Structure 1
């Protein structure tokens, strides 16, 4: 079976409202299960690919600050 995980994840959340997307993200983070990491990675990829250069710099600054804690 040839399953494209990225496409499956995108298909599962396509059409979701912002509230549903937030619930998905918060749930994935709060459970702390490693099996949720690929899904979060795909969602981050979508965010990154649809962000301006300024938004990307802000995300990188937030990431850098979060990793220094």
Structure 2
């Protein structure tokens, strides 16, 4: 992924409140547009890098369970 994209996404949401961040995530998911996926990936990268090992394991469990159909 292009470093400029990471910087642009982070710049666009820096300083946002939790409600604004939630709106950004929900809007990106609900739009269903593939062009939104890299931005969501950048946000997940920030979450992952700032999470404890316990939180990472919980996210992985949630992801694993969400992928079971």
The normalised TM-score by structure 1 is 0.95
What 5-or-longer segments of structure 2 have no aligned partner? Answer: none
Q: How does 1:1-69 map to 2 (within 5 A)?
A: 4-69=4-69
Aligned length: 67
What 5-or-longer segments of structure 1 have no aligned partner? Answer: none
RMSD value over aligned CA atoms?
0.9
The normalised TM-score by structure 2 is 0.95
For the residue of structure 1 that corresponds to 2:51, the secondary structure is coil
Greater RCO, CA 8 A, separation 6+: 2
